[in-house]
Chain A
Amino acid sequence: EPEVTQTPSHQVTQMGQEVILRCVPISNHLYFYWYRQILGQKVEFLVSFYNNEISEKSEIFDDQFSVERPDGSNFTLKIRSTKLEDSAMYFCASSEVRESGELFFGEGSRLTVL
């Protein structure tokens, strides 16, 4: 069964460092997303991406965040200067259809900022 894969599964970094989280969406999906979940909290939308540009971003997705599809398979989330409050599980998701809530999530990348 096709799946969304994410790397790394866990990353520990120092405050102020740059982090790149990587995702390989399902191959025939065209819409890509990043969500995050702070421990014990709700899943929160960060950004959606289609046709090599951001479709929508939330208030959380400020200037320290960026997304990129550097090649035909990878989809990345970069956090330029990490803060303690960026510690969370980051989920990549993809869908076949735009404006669809039928998302396929990856297993997540746990980011710990010290």
Chain B
Amino acid sequence: DTAVSQTPKYLVTQMGNDKSIKCEQNLGHDTMYWYKQDSKKFLKIMFSYNNKELIINETVPNRFSPKSPDKAHLNLHINSLELGDSAVYFCASSQAHLAGGQETQYFGPGTRLLVL
């Protein structure tokens, strides 16, 4: 069984469109994250949610809006897509929030977004 799943795996779209990426975890974890991995493989956190509450909101354009309907799901909606949004987006989860602990993050397989 897949622990952290994301859909879609690939997403090719035109500039200016609005798109959503979905993430689900069946590990019973309290915390979920969205990361962006650029073409240089640098992995940067965007958001984290703990029990449906926003904990971390990095300097991310307002066009990115996460939504957590329940603690097993964390979706990412992106408005007015730009060329620079092209990247691989990873969802992750952990039992508790990372800071100060030894929590293991479990990553999804990633969504490869290409904006044309």
Q: Do A and B come together as binding partners?
A: no
Q: Which residues of B contact A (CB under 8 A)?
A: none
